[in-house]
Structure 1
Amino acid sequence: MQKQLGDWGEQKAVMLLKQAGYEIIAQNFHSRFGEIDIIAKQADHLTFIEVKARSKTSYGRANEVISKNKIQKIIKTAQYFLAEHSSFSQFSCQFDVICIDFYDVVAKRVQQDFSKLVYDLQWIDNAFTLDDELFNLE
């Protein structure tokens, strides 16, 4: 279920980014350090996006479950991406998080159209920085 929910969340985020005028450069970009869900550009600006989709849970909202370790992996993967793609070397970069929180527990074994369920969507612009400062994940 988590994979289905996560895939749906990423698709929703891609639609949102495209509507905002971003061009999607890569999805699920992997390195030996970790993964970045979406890499998008707008003019000479590159954005690395983590997508979190969660059903109602006592374990916290989507923006509360991004650990310092996960952030470090995203940053290292972004640095790897930039080293491998020199055409983006002059771009300004930022890290955003798109959070999708469902109000109800989502059934684990039932194929669902998640878009028909009630959810909150939050786009956290500049959620963290290269030096690992958390200042916007609240």
Structure 2
Amino acid sequence: MATGFPPGNNKRAHGAFHERRAEDYLRTQGLQPVARNYQCKLGEIDLIMRQGDTLVFVEVRYRQSRQFGGAAVSVTGAKQQRLRRAALSYLHMKGLNEAHQPCRFDLVACDGDQINWIPNAF
């Protein structure tokens, strides 16, 4: 397991831990944080970052191993739709228009200690 991993079996703490890992990693890649855990009735977005003019909606997934396909394959089509709807809600709330605000959806797949960043994942 990753160093600094929270003790116990608290799913929320595990999720927050890996979201922090992902955010720290993306910062080293030049992205700037905008928001964490944006929630609306349509879904949740783990991280919202900015890279240049582009708003980046980030889904963070964790799996202990790749035995059953790993973290990347765990993002289903239904999950992608919920993320898209939540992103539209965020844009609307901020008074932004998806036609004029460049956006993309990235995935940070954490498999054990390994971090795999997939820009423009879907």
Do 1:33 and 1:77's aligned partners in 2 also have CA atoms closer than 8 Å?
A: yes
**RMSD value, Cα:** 1.7
- Give the counterpart letter for 2:73 in structure 1: E
Query: In 1, distance between residues paired with 2:87 and 2:44?
Result: 9
TM-score by length of 2: 0.83
Number of equivalenced pairs: 112
TM-score by length of 1: 0.74
Identify the match of residue 122 of structure 1 among 101, 116, 120.
116
- Give the counterpart letter for 1:94 in structure 2: R
- Give the counterpart letter for 2:80 in structure 1: I
Corresponding residue number in structure 2 for 1:12 = 21
**Unaligned residue ranges in structure 2 (runs of 5+):** 1-8
The answer to whether structure 1 residue 71 and structure 2 residue 80 are counterparts is: yes
Corresponding residue number in structure 2 for 1:55 = 64
Query: In 2, distance between residues paired with 1:96 and 1:57?
Result: 19
- Runs of 4+ residues deviating >6 angstroms: none
Larger radius of gyration: 1
What is the CA deviation profile of residues 83-128 of structure 1, one whole-angstrom value per residue up to 9, with x for unaligned ones? 11125753210000000111xxxxxxxxxxxxxxxx2211011100
Structure 1 residue matching 2:120: 3-state secondary structure: strand
- Give the counterpart letter for 2:85 in structure 1: K
Do 2:22 and 2:115's aligned partners in 1 also have CA atoms closer than 8 Å?
A: no
Do 1:5 and 1:54's aligned partners in 2 also have CA atoms closer than 8 Å?
A: no
> Which 10-residue stretch deviates more, 75-84 or 51-60?
51-60
